[in-house]
Structure 1
Amino acid sequence: MLKQILLVGLGGGIGSIFRFLTSVFATRYAVNGFPLGTFIANVLGCFILGICVGIFGKNPTENENLRLLFVTGFCGGYTTFSTFASENIQLLQQQNYTLLIIYTLASLLVGFLAVAVGLSFGKSW
């Protein structure tokens, strides 16, 4: 059990660092208050998760440690639903309904698409 905890912690720590770097980079290009950093992290995280599930799903018992490191750890540390929800509340409070709808729908639709494409990549790997 300690090994699994360490794998999740290592992956989560690395994912969190990448999440921070993504936000720093994306802030330079954000326009009109669109939460670009969170959007990029969540979509890219969905894509990576799809790839991992496709690859590791072929032999789940053999790939358990890799799944813990990448799916539970890295993707869990990289993506952020809580920030997504918080940013939507801020847009709602600012009465920026157009951006709220665009951000929410784009995040969900592009996120689902990213998982599907990643899964397809992972299965064919």
Structure 2
Amino acid sequence: MRSFDVDFLSMGQAANLYFQNVKPEKTTEPNKEVVSFQDVLNAKVEQEVKFSKHANQRLENRNIELSEDQLERLNQGVGQARTKQIQESLVMMDNLAFIVNVKNNTVVTAMEQGESGQVFTNIDGAVIV
């Protein structure tokens, strides 16, 4: 079976080229970076933290609303924790504290800093943003 050296072909185009025994012209642009779907997916997943049901309940019960700037800073803090290979991180921002499962990119719980008595357990790192 003959393979084709092009980016995209419709089934009809591929059939015509195969039966005509014609090699298609390359249509790639110079200096065009090829990015795989997996790379795009990983970048998107790593950018945005998710909130567990418990964390959402905590935020709602305490009337805590995060601004876009705060969400961006929280994502940056989680990214910093990831680069240091932290698994369970405390991320402190403004007067808020978040416990984040870095591997799953998920905020497990959220609280105001004075609420917990300044004791945080089951973490292996902290990030202040």
Q: TM-score, normalised by structure 2?
A: 0.26
**Larger % of helix: which?**
1
Larger CA Rg, structure 1 vs 2: 2
Q: TM-score, normalised by structure 1?
A: 0.27
